[in-house]
Amino acid sequence: MNTNNNQTIIKKTDETTSWYLIDASKYTLGRLSTKVAYILRDKNSIGYLPYQKGNNKIIIINSRNVQVTGKKSKQKVYKRHSGRPGGLKEETFEKLNKRIPNRIIEHAVKGMLPKNSLGRKIFKNLKIYETHKHPHTPQKLIELNID
């Protein structure tokens, strides 16, 4: 029995970096974060390998205007702990959105990435900005429409 199951592995260093721009004000939090995690993992390319980091970078603008459905803006709670006894802090979506709106999208996307060193490297390719202003104008940005 002759089996020639050879897989050719494409080196990621040969590819150029793709820059994507997404306007968060047009989408709900869940739909936005799943699409961002999918592209950051490089699952949209032919040469996807689960153990390799992709060359995609994503810029999200207008993070303050991200939408949630239903009563989540009042009921969704974000928790953090200082590590000390009694150090649990809880904050609703509305309060966190006023204080640090980028953290909402960061939290959602980070939860969808691998929980290891690869996930930490991939997460560095995500840049989030509160308003429409960003310092990445020299790059050739591809506007993404998530539907």
For 134-144, what is each residue's pLDDT tens digit?
A: 998 888 999 98
Q: Give the CATH class of 16-68+100-143.
A: alpha beta
The confidence score (pLDDT) of residue 113 equals 96
In this model, does residue 106 exceed pLDDT 60? yes
Percent of the chain residues topping a pLDDT of 70: 92
The pLDDT assigned to 32 comes to: 96
User: What is the rounded CA–CA span in Å between residue 126 and residue 58?
Assistant: 5
pTM for this entry? 0.87
Confidence of residue 13 (pLDDT cuts 50, 70, 90): low
pLDDT at 15 over 80: no
Q: Report helix, strand or coil for 128.
A: strand
Task: Tell the burial category of 54 from Cβ atoms under 10 Å away from its Cβ (0-12, 13-18, 19+).
Answer: buried
